[in-house]
Structure 1
Amino acid sequence: MARVRYGPRTEAEIGAARTASARLPDIWSTGVVAVWETDPDALAAVLPPPLKPADRPLARVNISKVDLPGYPLGAGSFAVAARHDDIDGWYPLVMPMTHERALTGGREVFGEPKKLGEVTVERDGLLVRASLARHGIAFVEVRGAVSGELPPPEPARKTDFYFKFLPAVAGSGFDADPVLVHCVRNEKVRRLERVTGDVVLRESMYDPVADLPVLRLVDITIGEKTSDQRGKVVERVSAEALLPYIHQRYDDPLHVHDGPPEGSA
C-alpha cells in the first residue's frame, strides 16, 4: 500500500524531526523596535494575575521580517513591561504573524497570543516604515528616518510571559487549569541604528492597542538580530482570575460592544 501521509509516523521519523528542530542555525531578522512610556493604569489593567506592572510603565512594539530560507516570515509583537515574582519581562498582548505555521507552533506550545495578520517592514535609504495590520486596519505604524549607527549591545537574556490554556469543550471556562509560561530568549544583535520618528496607534476593536497611548517616546531602532527560545511552565494559575482576560487571545464578535475609552480621539 502507498504511504498514507496522515497515518502514524515511525519512531525513527519522529526522532529525526526532533533532532532537526534542535539543530536550527541562527535565523536573522531585520526589525523595527519602538519603546514608549504609557498610561500606568491602562498597563496595569491588561495584566492577568499573578503578573504585576514593572517599575516603569513601558509598552513596546517589535516588527520584523525573518529570513527563513524559502519561507520569509513577517512577525510582530505588541507587549507591555511586567513582572512575575522577582523576574522582569514583557507580556505580549498580540503577536501578528504572516503564516499559519508560525502561528500554531508558538500558540499551541508556548501559549503565545499569535494571530494571522499583515506585517510590513520597509526601508528606502534612510526612511523607515513598519506596521502591523489586521482586518484592514494598520493598528500600529512606526515611521521615521535613520539618524545614526548604534553599537550592537552585548548578547542579552530576555523573558516573555505567556498564559497557556484550552477553552472548555462545554463552552465555559477551561478544560484544565491554565499555566503561566516563562519564555526565555538569548538574543544577539549584529547591527543596530537609531531612528528618529514617531509611533501611531490606530483604533481597532479587535486589537485595541490604542488604549496604551504614547505618552513619552523612549526610542526607536532598526537592527538585525537572532535569538533562541526556551520555555518552561512556572506555575498553575487561577482559572477564575484568568477567565476575564481570555478575550485578549481571540477575535470575538462581541468586541463590537467594546467602545474606546471616554475622551479618546
Structure 2
Amino acid sequence: MSSFVKDVNEITKRINTPTTFYNAETLTVYWETSPEVIRSILPAPLTPGPRPLVHAFVANYPRTSFCEPYREAAVFVLAAYNGQPGTYCLSMPISDDIAMGLGREIYGFPKKMADISLQKEDHHIAGSVSRRGTEFFHVEAALSGKMNAADGESIISAHYGNGLPVFNMKYSKSPDGRGFDLGPLLIRQTASMDISVRTAAEVEIHLHDSPHDPWAELEVVRMLGGIYTVSNTVLERGEVLTAVDPEQFLPYSNLRWDWWN
C-alpha cells in the first residue's frame, strides 16, 4: 500500500538510481544569433562564449528510469563561467509534471508544461512547441546527411565537442514575493550519451513571439543546421559552482513563470 511517508532506504535507492532516458529521439537545431542578444540575456557571472551560438531541441522520451514517457524541448545559448565553456538554458518546455518537478527542483532547469510534438516519417521530421495557444517554435527537417551551412558540422565540433555542461540558476523566491529565501546558485550539470543513430539535417525553423515564451528574441542570423539522434542518455549529478548576487540576478529570475501584463 502506498503512503505519504516513504521509507528512507527506498529514498536512498532512488537517489542512487541514474536518471536515464532510453532510446531518446532528439532533433537539435543550431544557429548563430547576434552578439548583442547573447549579452543581454546572460546573467552574471556568466559571460558570452566565443561565438553567438544557439541550439534548441525537441525530444521524445519513450522510456525513462523515473517517470512515464514524455516529450521535451529546450533552447540554450553558448556561455562561459571563469573561462569554462558551457551552455545556459533559457527555456525547457515539457509534457510531464513529474519530469518538470525533478528538473526544476533538483537541477534548476527552467521547465514549464507545454504541448510538444515530434513526428518522423522516413527522412523527414517535424517538431513543434506550443503554450497557451501560441506555437512559438516549429521546425521542419530533412535527414539528408548534411547541414544548411557547409561549415556547420565543423563549427559545432569546434564549440560543442562531445558535449558541454549546462549552466542553470537554482533559487527559491521568498513567500512575501520581495526577493529570495534561497539565493540564486549557479549550477553545473552534465549528461552522457550512448548514441546509436546520428544524422545531419537541413532544417527550417519558425520562431513566433510569445509574451510567456520569448524564443523569437533569439533571432536567426545564420542557420547552421540540425542533428537527429537516438541515444541512451544519463543525466549526471549537478554541482554548485558559486552563489550569485540576488539583486543582479532579479531581472533574470522569471524564466520558470509566465509573464502576465
Task: Normalising by structure 2, report the TM-score.
Answer: 0.88
- Give the corresponding residue for 2:252: 245
2:204 aligned residue (198, 204, 217): 198
Instruction: Give percent identity, aligned residues only.
Output: 26
Q: For 1:105-144, what aligned pairs fall within 5 Å after superposition?
A: 105-144=102-141
Q: Following TM superposition, by how much is the alpha carbon of 1:87 offset from its aligned partner in structure 2, in angstroms?
A: 1.2
**Structure 2 contact 29–203 (Cα < 8 Å) conserved:** no
Determine the C-alpha separation between the residues in 2 that align with 1:4 and 1:105.
Answer: 20
**Structure 1 contact 156–186 (Cα < 8 Å) conserved:** no
Q: For 1:143-222, what aligned pairs fall within 5 Å after superposition?
A: 143-148=140-145, 156-222=162-228
Do structure 1's residue 5 and structure 2's residue 3 form an aligned pair? yes
Q: Tell which structure's C-alpha radius of gyration is larger.
A: 1
Instruction: Note the residue ranges of structure 2 that are not aligned, 5 or more in a row.
Output: 148-152
The Cα offsets for residues 1-23 of structure 1, whole Å up to 9 and x where unpaired, read as xx6712x323333334334x24x
The Cα offsets for residues 113-154 of structure 1, whole Å up to 9 and x where unpaired, read as 011011111112222111111112111111032213899x9x
1:73 aligned residue (66, 70, 75): 70
Q: Secondary structure at the match of 2:87?
A: strand
The Cα offsets for residues 54-99 of structure 1, whole Å up to 9 and x where unpaired, read as 0100111111001216822101111111111121111111101100
Q: Secondary structure at the match of 1:175?
A: strand
Determine the C-alpha separation between the residues in 1 that align with 2:117 and 2:221.
Answer: 24
Determine the C-alpha separation between the residues in 1 that align with 2:125 and 2:253.
Answer: 34
Change (3 A) 1:13 1:226: closer
Q: Residue 14 of structure 1 aligns to which amino acid in structure 2?
A: I
- The structure showing larger relative contact order (alpha-carbon pairs under 8 Å, at least 6 residues apart) is 2
| CA RMSD across the alignment | 2.2
Q: Residue 56 of structure 1 aligns to which amino acid in structure 2?
A: R
- Give the corresponding residue for 1:224: 230
**Structure 2 contact 211–259 (Cα < 8 Å) conserved:** no
**Structure 1 contact 146–195 (Cα < 8 Å) conserved:** yes
Determine the C-alpha separation between the residues in 2 that align with 1:15 and 1:65.
Answer: 28
Determine the C-alpha separation between the residues in 2 that align with 1:126 and 1:108.
Answer: 37
Instruction: Note the residue ranges of structure 1 that are not aligned, 5 or more in a row.
Output: 255-265
**Structure 1 contact 156–187 (Cα < 8 Å) conserved:** no
Q: Residue 106 of structure 1 aligns to which amino acid in structure 2?
A: G
Determine the C-alpha separation between the residues in 2 that align with 1:138 and 1:86.
Answer: 36
Task: Normalising by structure 1, report the TM-score.
Answer: 0.86
Which shifted more, 139-148 or 108-117?
Answer: 139-148
Q: Secondary structure at the match of 1:242?
A: helix
Change (3 A) 1:127 1:12: closer
Determine the C-alpha separation between the residues in 2 that align with 1:78 and 1:178.
Answer: 21
